């Protein structure tokens, strides 16, 4: 373990000794609805389905945003005749992928980062290549993959200033872990420079894959029904909200409604299980509310619609003229992806806390497709201005869509960078066949 440093040695020892506690953690998470009880074994490295008998590429994304980002790569790899395995760590992402993964692509939950769990996972799936999305740097995963000579690439790689500052305090650890990647394909020049400074080998800038992800789909019949129910109403959506933000959205709604009596505000919480909580919050403010998760619809007498479902943001963005991106009016989260609503005709709003997507928001702000707001009052003012002036909102939406289109191309650059590794797989397959 020389060169890995005391930190990694301690991490490996602690995670091995705490394996019983990890199993107990999974049970606790299952009781709280954070794990799928029918697939809990996958979180301990046991396979849920049979491995295909052909070369397999493994892609991993932490949750919804990362796994959706991987969808264009999944399609490209499947077209090359490769078996494709996608892993993620959340129930929400699994539900979304069940609807959006191409037929034949396998989804599994990533095991907890316990040495035996990771060994079990890798020994069964035997991937010829692993593509890890953004910043999922799990020590036992990387170490066990390295032992098995599984080539790993960090795709759509990012390293925020905050994360860089933390990793910089442990240079030997960061250098060793990043050296487990064959290459790192960074989202931006800043990400590339920070990764290289931490010791990542062969860093290049491929751009952000999120710009190449198709707009999220919507069921045509459902869209027609909701469009009919809401025709003529000014509509805005607060998407992927977190605790502390719904209060601000509701305050903004109450501030706008005297000027736009027909206003419909939609709240789509990041975690749908919080729908009841948001419904109660609206009722406490004497707002007529309906909850989509309960099968209710936004009838004419409903002022606030809680969209506590999975995989329907494409539907909600198509209904709305303005979209506020959650996780940005409260610290710690860092703002959620604004590209999807930009592709679907929404003018964009966000708070000041956007460090997870700082470059993206900066591009939209600069081109006029997005505006920053600081609090509930600022949110109310910005929403009111755009909903009262549809021409101005459409102009902002066009600017956002244009910015999104201009920043595409990362998919082709990523595939070009992966080509030598894919050729190696193809040659190995031919060699074994002969």
Q: Cite the active site residues.
A: 66
Return the bridge partners of 349, or none: 324, 371
Alpha helices in 269-357 (DSSP H): 275-284, 313-319, 339-343
Reported as half-sphere exposure (CB side, CA atoms, 13 A), residue 363 has a value of 19
Q: 386-423: string of b/e by CB count within 10 Å (b at 16+)?
A: bbeeeeebeebbebbbebbeebbebbebbbebbeebbe
Determine the distance from the C-alpha atom of residue 19 to the mean position of all C-alpha atoms in its chain, rounded to a whole number: 28
Torsion of CA 414, 416, 421, 424, to 10 degrees: 150
44 contacts: CB under 8 Å, gap ≥ 6: 22, 23, 26, 111, 112, 114, 117, 120
Q: What's the farthest any 2 CA atoms get from each other in the chain?
A: 76
3-state secondary structure of 122: helix
Let me know: does 287 contact 250? Beta carbons within 8 Å.
yes
Report d(CA 275, CA 294) in Å as an integer. Answer: 9
Report d(CA 236, CA 274) in Å as an integer. Answer: 20
Backbone dihedral angles phi then psi of residue 111, each to the nearest 5 degrees: -65, 155
418 contacts: CB under 8 Å, gap ≥ 6: 129, 131, 153
């Amino acid at each position: 373990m020389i060169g890995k440093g005391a930190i990694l040695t301690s991490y490996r020892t602690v995670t091995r000794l705490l394996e019983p506690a990890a199993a107990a953690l999974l049970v606790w998470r299952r009781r709280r609805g954070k794990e799928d009880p029918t697939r809990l074994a996958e979180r301990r490295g046991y396979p849920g389905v049979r491995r295909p008998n052909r070369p397999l590429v493994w892609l991993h994304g932490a949750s919804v945003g990362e796994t959706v980002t991987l969808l264009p790569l999944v399609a490209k790899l499947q077209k090359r005749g490769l078996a494709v395995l996608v892993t993620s760590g959340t129930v929400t992402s699994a539900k979304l992928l069940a609807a959006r993964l191409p037929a034949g692509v396998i989804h599994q939950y990533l095991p907890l980062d316990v040495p035996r769990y990771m060994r079990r996972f890798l020994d069964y799936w035997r991937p010829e290549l692993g593509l890890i999305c953004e910043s999922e740097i799990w020590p036992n995963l990387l170490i066990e993959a390295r032992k098995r000579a599984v080539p790993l690439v960090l795709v759509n790689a990012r390293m925020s200033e905050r994360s860089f500052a933390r990793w910089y305090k442990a240079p030997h650890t960061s250098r060793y872990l990043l050296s487990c990647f064959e290459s790192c394909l960074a989202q931006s020049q800043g990400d590339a420079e920070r990764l290289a400074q931490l010791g990542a080998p062969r860093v290049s800038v491929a751009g952000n894959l999120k710009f190449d992800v198709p707009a999220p789909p919507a069921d045509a019949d459902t869209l027609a029904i909701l469009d009919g129910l809401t025709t003529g109403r000014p509509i805005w959506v607060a998407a992927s909200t977190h605790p502390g933000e719904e209060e601000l959205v509701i305050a903004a709604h109450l501030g706008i409604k005297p000027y736009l009596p027909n206003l419909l505000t939609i709240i789509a919480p990041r975690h749908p299980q919080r729908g009841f909580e948001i419904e109660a919050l609206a009722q406490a403010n004497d707002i007529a509310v309906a909850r989509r998760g309960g099968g209710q619809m936004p009838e004419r007498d409903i002022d606030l619609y809680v969209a506590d479902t999975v995989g329907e943001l494409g539907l909600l963005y198509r209904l709305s003229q303005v979209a506020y991106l959650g996780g940005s009016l409260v610290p710690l989260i860092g703002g959620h992806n604004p590209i999807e609503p930009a592709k679907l005709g929404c003018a964009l709003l966000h708070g000041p806390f956007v460090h997870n997507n700082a470059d993206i928001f900066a591009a939209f702000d600069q081109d006029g497709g997005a505006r920053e707001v600081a609090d509930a009052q600022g949110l109310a003012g910005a929403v009111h201005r755009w909903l009262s002036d549809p021409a101005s909102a459409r102009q902002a939406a066009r600017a956002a869509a244009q910015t999104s289109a201009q920043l595409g191309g990362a998919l082709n650059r990523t595939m070009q960078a992966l080509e030598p590794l894919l050729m190696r797989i193809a040659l190995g397959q031919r060699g074994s066949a002969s």
